[in-house]
């Protein structure tokens, strides 16, 4: 009797377990049915598979094609990509690594003239590694001598000019002048608070400088000094200023995406193509403005050929200096560039009519304000590259739009050493950005569109959590 009773109990337990399994399976089927029903309302079958298997659907649409002539320029996109890849990018990469173009003189500590700086940069990569005095070339070092005590040095804007001993400058740097750039706010002749920075040790990259402080800079640039032109805008000069700033903004965003902090704990850096898509690639006008700015700066460099090919690239290292001059001549007189794109941008069509001089003064004042805004950037490294590239833009504007007292174009524009360093480094920055967009733009768009097509991260987390509960037999405990 006892044995039969034990057998009966075991049979009943097995039946209970079987009912539990069927109940769990039924719940699982019901949950999957709900998931499919919900997903089907807004997702394709491929998206449902991606959701449950954690795989992405690589079925993005084709990349926006950039063909024909770059707007307001004299070269085609295909020509720019070909010339940049074969000629410009390789030469510029070598040029900016030479001692002459490696060191940039910059005033990093200036008070913001518009509002107190409250920018916060949480990464050590925000800070700039300044050169010890014995590192940079002797001729450069001589130019920093001055007669003011360090505790009395102040930002030059709106202050008395520092007393600087330029005797050695005039001897050492034959062919270079000390003159203020009319397009920028910093007085480049004031060496009082300047320091030399090795640009190769301070690359333009992601720094963690984000938030209201960073947005405020760009908002002030666009809304107060460089508003976007309307579709019917007839003022070509204002359009040019906006496109230059937009192109520079795009280039900066691309460099951030190209050298991004992927894992702060592991200090891992690499490409973030989704960021490049979000900030640049998904907007065709921003890509177009990048190419426009590149061609604008290239035109300024080629227009100054007669000056740049005879300048003294003197750092005290005769072999390096000779190599620098040779590279510069190869850049300026390259037959492929002269044949395919002899006039990247035609500045002669601007500043026409009676209102030309007044319009030029207005735009010059706006660009000066943009230059002054660089002192409000809360990230030191961002401030460095902002100042360098804005000075490069200002130098290009000076080359292309300099006029004499009779409002006639000047036949020979005098450039100072720091302006040339900024101009060539800016051209290299833009060249790198164009190259990166050309090589990685398609993949960036595919990844960006996939990222925008899948459920939000929080939803994915919830679905994965439910899936783990199902796999762990969670529903069996309620059967």
What six digits make up the tokens of 325?
């001059």
Is 155 an annotated catalytic residue?
Answer: no
Q: Which of 75, 131, 341, 379 is catalytic?
A: 379
Q: Tally the C-alpha atoms within 13 A of residue 327's C-alpha that lie toward its C-beta.
A: 22
Residue labelled with tokens 């005033």: 107
Q: Measured between alpha carbons, how far is 370 from 220 in angstroms, rounded to an integer?
A: 8
Does the annotation place 218 within a ligand binding site? yes
Asked whether residue 324 is marked as a ligand-binding residue, the answer is no
Element (H, E) at 104: strand 103-106
Concatenated DSSP letters of 119-173: ----SGGGS--BPPTTTS-HHHHHTT-BSS-GGG---STTSPPPPB--HHHHHHS
**Which residue pairs, CB below 8 angstroms and at least 24 apart, start in 229-235?**
235/359
Rounded to whole angstroms, how far apart are CA atoms 391 and 110?
16
279 is in an annotated binding site: yes
Pair 88, 337: CB distance under 8 Å? yes
Question: What CA–CA distance (Å, rounded) separates 245 from 222?
Answer: 8
Catalytic residue chosen out of the listed positions 73, 131, 341, 382: 382
Q: Which two tokens stand for residue 185?
A: 């706010």
Helix (H) or strand (E) holding 197: strand 195-198
Upper half-sphere CA count for residue 2 (Cβ side, 13 Å)? 0
224, 115 Cβ separation under 8 angstroms? no
Torsion sign (Cα): 83, 87, 93, 95 = negative
109 labelled binding-site residue: no
Give the whole-angstrom CA distance, residue 430 versus residue 105: 20
Terminal CA-CA length for the chain: 31
CA 213 to chain centre: 17
Residue 207 known to bind ligand: yes
**Does the annotation list 477 as a binding residue?**
no
* 292 C-beta neighbours (distance < 10 Å), count: 23
Quick one: which of 247, 246, 229 has its CA closest to 238?
A: 229
The dihedral through the CA atoms of 399, 400, 406, 411 has a sign that is: positive
Task: Using alpha carbons, select from 125, 124, 129 the residue that is nearest to residue 108.
Answer: 129
382 is catalytic: yes
* Residues known to be catalytic: 379, 382
Residue stretches of the annotated binding site: 205, 207, 218, 246, 249, 279
Residue stretches of the annotated binding site for FAD: 205, 207, 218, 246, 249, 279
């Amino acid at each position: 009797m006892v044995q039969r009773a034990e057998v009966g109990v075991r049979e009943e337990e097995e039946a209970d377990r079987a009912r539990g399994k069927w109940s769990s399976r039924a719940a699982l089927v019901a949950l999957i049915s709900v998931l499919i029903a919900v997903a089907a309302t807004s997702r394709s079958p491929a998206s449902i598979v991606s959701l449950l298997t954690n795989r992405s659907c690589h079925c993005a649409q084709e990349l926006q094609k950039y063909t024909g002539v770059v707007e307001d320029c004299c070269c085609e996109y295909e020509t720019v990509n070909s010339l940049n890849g074969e000629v410009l990018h390789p030469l510029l990469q070598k040029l900016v690594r030479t001692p002459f173009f490696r060191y940039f003189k910059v005033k990093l500590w200036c008070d913001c003239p518009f509002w107190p700086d409250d920018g916060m940069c949480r990464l050590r990569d925000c800070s700039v590694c300044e050169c010890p005095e014995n590192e940079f070339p002797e001729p450069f070092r001589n130019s920093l001598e001055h007669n003011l005590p360090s505790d009395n040095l102040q930002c030059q804007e709106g202050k008395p000019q520092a007393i600087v001993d330029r005797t050695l400058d005039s001897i050492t740097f034959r062919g270079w002048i000390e003159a203020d750039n009319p397009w920028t706010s910093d007085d480049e002749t004031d060496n009082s608070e300047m320091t030399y920075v090795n640009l190769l040790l301070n690359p333009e990259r992601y720094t963690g400088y984000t938030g209201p402080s960073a947005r405020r800079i760009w908002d002030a640039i666009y809304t107060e000094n460089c508003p976007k032109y309307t579709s019917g805008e007839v003022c070509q000069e204002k359009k040019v200023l906006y496109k230059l700033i937009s192109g520079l903004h795009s280039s900066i965003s691309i460099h951030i995406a190209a050298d991004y902090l992927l894992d702060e704990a592991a200090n891992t850096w690499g490409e973030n193509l989704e960021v490049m898509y979000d900030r640049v690639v998904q907007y065709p006008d921003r890509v177009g403005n990048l190419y426009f700015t590149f061609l604008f700066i290239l035109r300024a460099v080629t227009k100054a050929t007669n000056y740049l090919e005879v300048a003294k690239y003197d750092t005290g290292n005769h072999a390096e200096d000779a190599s620098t001059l040779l590279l510069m001549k190869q850049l300026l007189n390259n037959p492929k560039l002269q044949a395919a794109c002899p006039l990247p941008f035609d500045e002669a069509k601007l500043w026409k009519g009676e209102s030309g001089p007044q319009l030029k003064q207005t735009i010059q004042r706006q660009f000066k304000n943009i230059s002054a805004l660089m002192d409000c950037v809360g990230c030191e490294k961002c401030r460095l590259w902002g100042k360098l590239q804005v000075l490069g833009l200002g130098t290009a504007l000076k080359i292309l739009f300099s006029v004499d007292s009779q409002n006639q174009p000047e036949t020979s524009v005098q450039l100072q050493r720091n302006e040339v360093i900024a101009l060539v480094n800016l051209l290299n920055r833009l060249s790198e950005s164009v190259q990166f967009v050309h090589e990685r733009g398609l993949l960036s768009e595919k990844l960006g569109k996939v990222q925008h097509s899948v459920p939000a991260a929080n939803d994915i987390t919830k679905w994965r959590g439910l899936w783990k509960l199902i796999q762990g037999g969670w529903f069996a405990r309620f059967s």
